[in-house]
Amino acid sequence: MLDRDEDILKAAEDWQKAGRGVALATVVETWGSAPRPAGSSLVINDEGTFLGSVSGGCVEGAVVTEAMDVIESGKPRMLEFGVADETAWNVGLSCGGTIRVFVEKVG
Amino acid sequence: MKLAILHELNAERAARRPVILVTDTESGEQRLVKAADFTKDPLRAELDKQLRMGKSGNVEAGGKKLFLNVYAPTAKLVIVGAVHISQALAPLARSLGYDVTVVDPRTAFASPERFPDIPLVAEWPDTALPPLNVDAYTAFVAVTHDPKIDDPALLHAFERNCFYIGALGSRKTHAKRGDRLRAQGARDTDIARIHAPIGLAIGAVSPSEIAVSIMAEITAVLRLPPKEKEEAA
């Protein structure tokens, strides 16, 4: 299976050891019908390369952008995406669910 | 996440040992708890429950919001016997998320035509089983009906502490099997671990229905807390 969590976490470690800035985004909470369960993760490096998913494609673009800031600042942050969000029409979840994603720097 | 934690997490996962990563989602503070250390942990009840369900989730403790990220090894199913039931069992188990392997030294049974896309090992259990790394996250079923194949396979499953061990056969067949296994050194507690007759009693008749009853029983053993498990069995 592609993008199993072990590959994602392995990539996080490998990228960090290779000297890249790395962030890990993890789904920590879901409401309604969310595409990926809590615990699903996405790893992002400072070149914008990413592996894994937190939503099956709906909000990854926004998460990658936020992850760049987290790599820069080193401070973790919590993101929330859903239909109630103002940006829902731009980067919302088409399935109508809501998810919270924790983004942290690795290393 | 600190690199040391990530490194330890990857090492535990590679060794197929369950761990839970506890994250304070406000401060970002984290710690990794190995399953072997659960009993000493202040969150042991929560950790136990999340691991049993194989689900990550949030808890509040000591005024902190904590996210418990569960990393449980992928469950494996080893099927000894490439028989008709196995042809239904293998794809069903796979759809439930198990890594499935079928073992049968009889090449007429263990053929890719009968088991498309399922890993097959056409060797005797003594040769076939050691490389499969059968462990506590493995469900093990012996369904050949042939003691020459089933018995050594079951002895291997005892040694490796599989979370579920099932064997096909009536109560009478099972009693004889118990005698044979004891003669080969198995303890009564080992024999008692075998689910036989295999599967939940749902009146299954066809191979597919028997497969459903087996997977239902494996699911119950995997997910139910110990007390309810006894009641279901």
Domain locations in chain A?
5-106
Mean pLDDT computed over B24-47: 93
Pairing of β B57-61 and β A77-82: unpaired
Rounded-to-integer distance, Cα B157 and Cα B165, Å: 7
Q: What is the pLDDT of residues B139-178, one digit of tens each?
A: 999 999 999 999 999 999 999 999 999 999 999 999 999 9
Mean pLDDT calculated for residue range B29-38: 94
Nearest CA among B42, B45, B35, B31 for reference residue B1: B31
Domain boundaries, chain B: 3-71, 76-232
Q: Which of B181, B188, B94, B107 is nearest to B142 (CA)?
A: B181
What mean pLDDT is predicted for residues B213-222?
Answer: 96
Contacts across the A-B interface (CB distance below 8 Å): 58
**Domain range B76-232, its CATH number among 3.40.50.720, 3.30.1130.10, 3.20.20.80, 3.50.50.60:** 3.40.50.720
Complex ipTM more than 0.85, yes or no:
no
Contact at 8 Å (CB) between A24 and A41? yes
By C-alpha distance, which of B65, B193, B201 is closest to B141? B193
- How confident is the model at residue A35, as a pLDDT? 76
Which chain A residue shows the shortest CA-CA distance from B6?
A13
- Chain A interface, best mutation among B6, B9, B74, by max A CB count within 10 A: B6
| pLDDT for A91 beyond 80 | no
With pLDDT > 70 as the criterion, what percentage of chain A qualifies? 81
What does the buried/exposed string (b/e) look like for B32-71 if buried means 16 or more CB atoms within 10 Å of the residue's CB? bbebeebeebebeebbbebbeebebbbbeeeeebbbbbbb
CB A36 within 8 A of CB A55: yes
Nearest chain B residue to A102 by CA distance is: B25
Whether the pTM exceeds 0.90: the reply is no
Task: Over range B5-21, report the average pLDDT.
Answer: 93
For residues B85-104, average pLDDT: 96
Torsion over CA: A72, A76, A77, A78 (sign): positive
Q: What is the pLDDT of residues B95-110, one digit of tens each?
A: 998 999 999 999 999 9
pLDDT tens sequence across A26-59? 999 988 777 788 999 999 999 999 999 888 777 8
CB A24 within 8 A of CB A104: yes
Contact list in A for residue B6 (CB cut-off 8 A) is 9, 12-13, 16, 106
B12 vs A contacts (CB less than 8 Å)? none
Classified as helix, coil or strand, B7 is helix
